[in-house]
Structure 1
């Protein structure tokens, strides 16, 4: 686990900038979220497994610090919290964004894959949030759990059931923690993104015909007529942590162009 502290201070008055932790911050929604917080003057620690992608997230954003870590490691929760307090001085917002997906039916699911998905998508947020409770309580902080619009309501998700089950479980934890932690001044909310085009960063290539066809198919089924962008998801995540949103607690906001309603 490596801490990288490139960049200089953001120029915000000492004590004025919030401390934000974003897991899975090297790509996609996590990257866009870290940059959106930094753009408003917050100081951000992005956590991920790959130094190069984290560095790309931080490039040009002096308010962002990076930590190379696997959220499933036994010591990860304490190390992430300790690092955040060391480089940010506080934790106002924790964004549980890191995720692991793997399409395969139940008959082809082995123990290793099941443990990988459940640990990353469900157990890691549980343990990290628990580790961050005291710093969050000191700041009347907010936890944002990133779920999935595909796991809302009574919909099924063939060949991706374990991922969907973990995300549905995270939504349940959002509602439960909102009640449990309210006496400590901590809010817990969720964002459930729909299919989001992350081809601008590492991962599926923008020129990959299969990926483009997938996005085109989803867009055709979506009432809004298109798929989402990482920056749109980041906007909602940031807004839910603003003081004006403090009466929202335990809610999970679907941002999917209406697809989960069809």
Structure 2
């Protein structure tokens, strides 16, 4: 029984994963494919996305999707979803991972930076979900949304108001999706990571001074590896989590415990 759960947990599933050009998204694409899923990814960085596809194919894994895709544009999100359906005929898992933020104190940041962050952290989750919804409803499925401990005010950091608001919106939207999706056999789960070692955070983690500041509020005194977040997403997306919906799973090394 244990062996069966560890191998091929997503066998035959079609998984759409956004932001697969690197970091958590690339880790998710490769792990989900290793678990038997047919993965259709995307990224704003077309070259990075193609690198992920090449890595997957070199390992005999099925990961597709190319070109630059800006999911903050509603029509681009629609086209991405429809391209996946045209290729595979259905959607079983939608993994909304892509995210980008601009930072600044509420009194100082520009309106454009606020709107840009909401667009690229909350709007894009809605767009992808909106256009995937009818396909998921045809046979049931799972939506996994990546939020952040910033949604829960865990960091005590100034200058992340737009980011915190957007990620809190992701958590609230996930709960609503769980309510609306239940009758269609759609489950929806959000995951709130803490500090994760990604290309974006690596320069700070590699510098002793900024590393200390970044990890000061993390009881386990280290950053998560992308694969550690993806492992939780894999469980949430698998049939093992068949009764899990509407929840936010915090994966933060104990930050919220302080």
Judge same fold: TM > 0.5, yes or no.
yes
1:254 aligns to what?
Answer: 250
8 A contact 1:215–1:227 mirrored in 2: no
Between 153-162 and 232-241, the greater mean CA deviation after superposition: 153-162
Q: Which protein is richer in helix relative to its size?
A: 2
2:160 aligns to what?
Answer: 160
Secondary structure at the aligned position of 1:75 is classed as: helix
| 2:55 is the alignment partner of 1:60 | yes
Partners of 2:76 and 2:33 lie apart in 1 by 23
Secondary structure at the aligned position of 1:132 is classed as: helix
Deviations 1:66-88 (A, max 9, x none): 23210112312210111111223
Partners of 2:204 and 2:145 lie apart in 1 by 31
Partners of 1:59 and 1:66 lie apart in 2 by 11
In the superposition, the TM-score normalised over structure 1's length comes to 0.86
Partners of 2:238 and 2:191 lie apart in 1 by 14
| 2:98 is the alignment partner of 1:98 | yes
8 A contact 2:93–2:142 mirrored in 1: yes
1:5 aligns to what?
Answer: none
1:117 aligns to what?
Answer: 117
1:35 aligns to what?
Answer: 30
8 A contact 2:74–2:124 mirrored in 1: no
Deviations 1:61-118 (A, max 9, x none): 1310123210112312210111111223221111111111222112322122111111
2:172 aligns to what?
Answer: 172
1:135 aligns to what?
Answer: 135
Secondary structure at the aligned position of 1:189 is classed as: strand
Partners of 2:24 and 2:211 lie apart in 1 by 16
In the superposition, the TM-score normalised over structure 2's length comes to 0.88
Q: Which runs of 4+ in 1 moved over 6 A?
A: none
Secondary structure at the aligned position of 1:98 is classed as: coil
Deviations 1:150-199 (A, max 9, x none): 22267654101111111001101111110111111100001111110114
Instruction: Mark the runs of 5 or more structure 1 residues left unpaired by the alignment.
Output: 1-11
Compared with structure 1, are the counterparts of its residues 225 and 171 closer, same or farther at alpha carbon in structure 2 (3 Å cutoff)? same
Partners of 1:208 and 1:226 lie apart in 2 by 9
8 A contact 2:70–2:77 mirrored in 1: no
Instruction: Mark the runs of 5 or more structure 2 residues left unpaired by the alignment.
Output: 1-7
Compared with structure 1, are the counterparts of its residues 128 and 209 closer, same or farther at alpha carbon in structure 2 (3 Å cutoff)? closer
Partners of 2:224 and 2:169 lie apart in 1 by 23
- What is the deviation of 1:16? 5.2
| 2:14 is the alignment partner of 1:22 | no
Secondary structure at the aligned position of 2:237 is classed as: coil
Question: RMSD across aligned C-alpha pairs, in angstroms?
Answer: 2.1
- What is the deviation of 1:229? 0.5
